[in-house]
A and B are shown apart, each in its own frame.
Chain A
């Protein structure tokens, strides 16, 4: 009754595409489920349909996605676009919605390639209409070639500069880039620079992006702090302190960014072991050398397992795809070893980037009046008050004040709430607990649930 496959891959970004391509190429039955209508994930979103103009704006790295997508299209892997996975049971049954109906399938191995989420930026005013994330701005650019004008970009991280340069190339430069990297970060990160030079291409590219933005005449404010979005019904400006004085830039849109963190919803749902990654300031699932979680049939590849970027994600995906094939009895042709060496080289830049672009301390410990859970509009102060009352961790805080109970299922506020609680208890974040993630991972219409396919005997419950 229930369809069974060797491998189900969730997510059609570089990691998922590569894993599905390799596993299917080795003869395993593979289904790739992805929420989006076309392959590519966030990084290579809509890459198949991009015209020459858009390709020019988005740059060479984006174009690299074409080969990955083409290889996947040519592979025997089955592709289910528009499939939103919202539950995975301990019996390996995957529930998903597609085209307004629920379907399910079971896989011997599941590869979660669900990528990263932008780190929430709880600063005063961040929930005002007109505030968005830099990643969301890039999605608009990729899918609809839409750009915001009257926009200020604020925060830190490679994506901030990438999107700024793409906006410049699109002829719609931002009004300003307000960078929050504190003074002294370079010297703190310097010891990691020699290692980073092993993948010097990334550094060269990054400096090139920054130079291009500056060349275009975009105002750049360095070492900014105390950011505050102004506005009543909508954004009217951004206030901050930089260079020893107060600034205010009038604008109608603000794009915030403080780096990305793993999307851990699936590994949390399945109660895999997780650790606090002090270098990346986030939680990530504990993975073995085969990218296997503490649940032996669940693999996590790409940014969902720890931030490494698109190329590392594709390499990890290939390794897992080949590895699954080897474990299914296919011969090992030695490619896995070569891919691992390439992965090591590619990741060499990360320690430097992580040290240099560590998130703004202000967003890790927001003021009492700042909202941290957008869905339920709960402030940092309310979270701290629950801790003072004696609530021992995020799950009790959630039960008391509803943080993480809204439609986003804690995806946005999870890390912020965990770290605020740990800080309020005087503990380090590595002692912090995290929400128990409950299905469905995405809201499911009740009418869809009422039409769930019959897959077994209907057990009549006794009334309590």
Chain B
């Protein structure tokens, strides 16, 4: 009865998951001349990609992520021309404040480590320089580690713009279409079964965030995804006082003032994630400490009110870096998910790297640390 009446739709690659990583890979693959189908169970940018805090941050990246982050940043700096949409991108310093000499010493060590590796984007700035960017700041702050030309963008606007560019280059998007099953046929094609019929391609890329785990497991490569719902708060408008995206050592907080005066407070306090129902619920009592931290670091915040909160559904990996690269079991199967709450800035660069890997068979970025195999070997060891 449920045999699809529609003919199987074929392409060079099927991408499952229409977030920023799926859209970006679609864009770059289409640019390389591949025919691309993207399947998205809800709508593009509905979850983590559309509702994250919008930080465009190289600062403090895991060393393995730095090359991807740098490649992304170069694209971000020309994003308006590339996507014909400014994506709300603004260059702004990203900084992490230190209130103790011990914290500052750790930051100096990080900068030294980065410089030894040939990276110069992270720097230590003094308290006067910090105060040029933040006009209401606790006296306790003595220094910061910063990336002065990082920034922030509008996450949904960005993901939507990437989708439109990918479409313009020929990628086909099927939204509201759930990939129920994936199997390989005799000819070596991946067959993706959906309520809207079957989609087939010799290559398959999973970019479905927290929902990728089930398909990966069904394909024999289980990964320990932890659903995670970081909460974000938006305040009423304040006069401009902060031109930086700010975090602080010892405080799980990310903080930025938008051009319209509202302040977005994020930083990883978890709400209640429920991937089965697509929900991520805000829970207010844990936000008590975020509110206290905000007011103590930025005294002007005592004047403001929270007007809106939200929580997005993210896929967190136990080691906080994503699963990226080839399957270890199947030819023509690729992964890019589990960005652990910091995949937004990486999206543009990651898409170009995945397209390079898929289209040419190799990439000069070292993806070994992100291998799906790191969990299988872990399981084998225990």
Contact = CB atoms under 8 A, between A and B. Distances in A.
Interface of A: 87, 89-90, 95, 102, 104, 271, 389-393, 396, 399-400, 405-407, 409, 438-440, 443-447, 449-456, 458-464
Contacts of B283: 89
Nearest to B266: A464
B279 to A, nearest CB: 7
Contacts of B43: 392-393, 396
Given A461-B267, A462-B268, A446 B160 contact: no
B287 A438 contact: no
Provide the main secondary structure of the chain B interface: mixed
Nearest to B340: A464
B341 interface: yes
A459 B292 contact: no
Contact of B310 (A396, A438, A450): A438
A438 B252 contact: no
Contacts of B307: 406-407, 409, 440, 443
A440 B267 contact: no
Interface centre among A389, A405, A459, A463 (most CB of B within 10 A): A463
A89 B342 CA distance: 27
Interface stretch (B115-123, B130-138, B297-305, B372-380): B297-305
Contacts of B342: 464
Interface of B: 43, 45, 50-51, 154, 156-157, 160, 164, 175, 230, 234-236, 247, 252, 254, 267-270, 272, 279, 281-289, 291-292, 294-295, 301-302, 304-310, 320, 340-342
28 contacts: A87-B282, A89-B281, A389-B164, A390-B160, A391-B160, A392-B175, A396-B160, A399-B51, A399-B157, A405-B234, A438-B309, A439-B282, A443-B307, A445-B304, A445-B306, A446-B291, A446-B301, A446-B306, A449-B306, A451-B288, A452-B288, A455-B285, A459-B270, A461-B270, A463-B247, A463-B267, A464-B230, A464-B340
Contact of B289 (A87, A393, A458): A458
A50 B64 CA distance: 72
A438 B232 CA distance: 11
Nearest to B295: A450
B31 to A, nearest CB: 20
B308 A447 contact: no
A449 B302 CA distance: 10
B50 A399 contact: yes
Given A389-B160, A393-B43, 16 more contacts: A90-B279, A102-B284, A271-B279, A405-B234, A439-B282, A440-B306, A446-B302, A449-B284, A452-B288, A458-B286, A458-B288, A462-B252, A463-B252, A464-B230, A464-B267, A464-B320
A461 B268 contact: yes
B341 A446 contact: no
Provide the main secondary structure of the chain A interface: loop
Contacts of A95: 284
Contacts of B302: 446-447
Interface centre among B268, B283, B309, B341 (most CB of A within 10 A): B283
- 5 closest A-B pairs by beta carbon, nearest first, are A399-B156, A464-B341, A450-B291, A443-B305, A449-B291
A40 B43 CA distance: 43
A399 B159 CA distance: 11
Contacts of B50: 396, 399
Contact of A87 (B284, B292, B304): B284
Contacts of B341: 464
Nearest to B50: A399
B192 to A, nearest CB: 22
B269 A405 contact: no
Contacts of B236: 407, 443
Contacts of A451: 288
B156 A461 contact: no
A439 B310 CA distance: 8
A439 B164 contact: no
A271 B175 CA distance: 21
B164 A390 contact: yes
A463 B306 contact: no
Nearest to B155: A399
B305 A450 contact: no
A454 B285 contact: yes
Given A438-B310, A450-B292, A445 B285 contact: no
A269 to B, nearest CB: 10
A248 to B, nearest CB: 36
A439 B231 CA distance: 11
A389 B157 CA distance: 11
Contacts of A461: 252, 267-270, 286
B160 A400 contact: yes
B292 A463 contact: no
B291 A90 contact: no
A390 B166 CA distance: 13
A439 B284 contact: yes
Contact of B157 (A400, A443, A456): A400
A104 B160 CA distance: 39
A308 B269 CA distance: 43
Given A438-B309, A440-B309, A449 B287 contact: yes
A393 B294 CA distance: 34
Contacts of A90: 272, 279, 281
Nearest to A440: B306
Contacts of B230: 464
